[in-house]
Structure 1
Amino acid sequence: MHTAYAEISSVAAVAYDMADEQRHLLAYVPLVKRVVRQLHAQVGGAVDREDMEQIGLIGLLEALRRYGVPDERFGAYAAMRVRGAILDELRRQDWRPRAVRQESHRMRDAVREFRRKLGREPSEAEIVSALGVTSAAYQEYLLAENAEQLASFDELVYELSNMPSDMQSPEAQMIARRSLEQALSVLDVREQRVIQLYYEFDLNFKEIAAVLDLTEARICQLNKGALRKMREFLQAH
């Protein structure tokens, strides 16, 4: 009698948990769509938007199951997990053709060498002129580079500060937040604005370019430089 009652209670609890999970999942679908809208603009339509949303929903479901009942911090945590799931799948599928990857690596090396010679961050016009490429080709390179840069930076930020609250002590969470605040402080005002618009307001690079009245290629350049500075700071501290 008691055993049967326990089994019925267990089944009821599972059904309730699934219904609750479904409710939370539906509540955060708009978050998935925002992340996909950001990333889809950066991969140039190489991956179907609906496929990216499906991957993002799987990432959201995993985030819910790992985190537990959503609270005010869950949105940031879920966005990081969703973005990470999509970027992981893009890398796994190797979405850029081999020739494009090779050209990207060649351009990356050339830009690094040009930067080293100048001793500063070159402008878009200087790079285009020095490398003998079109502005459109340089912008495509920047978008691809930023997709990779975002993936590695997201992983670092996730490790530092977006773990569920029950997986970090209050002291560890406070130190992580302070580290990120200090990392942001090494950026100039424009770099901080780009990071804020991307991570906090979920704008893609084209939208950020419109807000700041800059070219999309310049936003890519600012974003890449900002992420590099923050990553170097966080790894050094």
Structure 2
Amino acid sequence: MSGVALYASVQAPGLEALVGQHAPLVKRIAHHLMGRLPSSVQVEDLIQAGMVGLLEAARQYDHKQGASFETYAGIRIRGAMLDELRRYDWTPRSVHRKARDVAEAIRVIEARTGRDARDAEVAEYLGLTLSEYHQVLQDTVSCRMFSLDELLESGDTVLDECEDSAAPPVEALTQSGFAEALADAIAGLPERERLVISLYYEEELNLREIGEVLGVSESRVCQLQSQAMLRLRARMQDWLDIEQSAAARPKGRRKAVSKA
């Protein structure tokens, strides 16, 4: 019996069976995430972190909340894996800086033109050639500065607030508004970028498989995915600023402000 299974069996009757039944979900999520991570990341580390997330999900799941256990566990598992990845940030600071520069360029260009920023326009704004700009996109693929996983699956906080019946109504409305704004931002992506996001996150295809569907190289899919993420960051910047400001406030103060 594994250490996780032993711990689960001690905690509550039937917990071990629930964890064992959903262990394949951990592996599936881990291999899905590995599709865009560098070779320095070991899938075994993700699986180990994911099993801890699954165990926590099994211990805390409440069917009265309405979500299926698989949905709830998937969020916890991804969250645990992302927490593990955040502990080992392999991305150079220069890559983070360039990613922020691209997002800002997209924001400025789209605010000025009222339409999707084009590759050539962003490259010109940044003083880069088109090939240099595409290389920046390639470099930022593994940059975790912004991703749908971190927005949708960072949900530990969201889940905790949903589970807390005393969560302030204003915060619940903010989370709902954020989700709606994100959905609108995704729907407003250029067609190819939206398709890449859909195939990757909904159909769970890897980058090579998406390239085969689109008839482009895997590196081009990486560029499209990276650009989609940065475009979403640019369009969601106001919401991200609100979330970061709220996260920086002490929890007690957040509740006091919400009640005011």
Give the TM-score normalised by the residue count of structure 1.
0.67
Query: Which of the residues 65, 71, 81 maps onto 1:76?
Result: 71
**Is 1:34 equivalent to 2:36 in the alignment?**
no
* Structure 2 residue identity aligned to 1:104: V
State the match for 1:223 in structure 2: 229
- Whether the 8 Å contact between 2:106 and 2:231 is mirrored in structure 1 is no
102, 107, 120: which is aligned to 2:98? 107
Instruction: Give the superposed CA RMSD.
Output: 4.2
Q: What residue identity is the alignment partner of 2:77?
A: V
The structure-2 alpha-carbon separation of the partners of 1:199 and 1:113, relative to structure 1 and needing over 3 Å to count, comes to closer
Q: Report if the CA contact (8 A) 2:53-2:76 is conserved.
A: yes
Change (3 A) 1:113 1:167: closer
**Residue of structure 2 in register with 1:92 after alignment:** 87
Matched, 1:123 2:129: no
Q: Give deviations 1:64-103, integer Å, cap 9, x for gaps.
A: 212246975332322222222112112212334xxxx133
Aligned equivalent of 1:5: none
> Per-residue deviation at 1:209?
4.3
Structure with the bigger RCO (C-alpha within 8 Å, sep 6+) is 1
% identity of equivalent residues: 27
How far did 1:53 drift?
1.0
Residue in 2 that maps onto 1:46: 40
Larger Rg: 1
The within-5 A match list for 1:119-198 is 119=112, 121-123=117-119, 127=123, 130-132=127-129, 134=132, 137-145=135-143, 147-150=144-147, 152-154=150-152, 157-160=155-158, 162-163=159-160, 166-168=163-165, 180-181=179-180, 183-186=182-185, 187-188=187-188, 190=191, 193-198=195-200
User: Which structure is higher in helix share?
Assistant: 1
* Contact 2:196-2:224 within 8 A present in 1 as well: no
**SS of structure 2 residue aligned to 1:58:** helix
Question: What is the CA–CA distance in structure 2 between the aligned matches of 1:113 and 1:231, rounded to whole Å?
Answer: 9
> What's the TM-score once normalised by structure 2's chain length?
0.62
Q: Distance in 2 between matches of 1:164 and 1:212?
A: 40
Cα distance change of structure 1 residues 44 and 218 upon mapping to structure 2, 3 Å threshold? same
From 48, 59, 62, give the equivalent of 2:53. Answer: 59
In 1, are the aligned partners of 2:79 and 2:155 still within 8 Å (CA)? no
Q: Which runs of 5+ in 1 are unaligned?
A: 1-13
Could you say if the C-alpha distance between residues 180 and 106 of structure 1 is closer, same or farther in structure 2, counting changes exceeding 3 Å? closer
- In structure 2, the residue corresponding to 1:61 is in which secondary structure? helix
Aligned residue pairs, count: 218
Distance 1:157 1:124 in 2: 35
Unaligned regions of 5+ residues in structure 2, if any? Answer: 1-7, 244-260
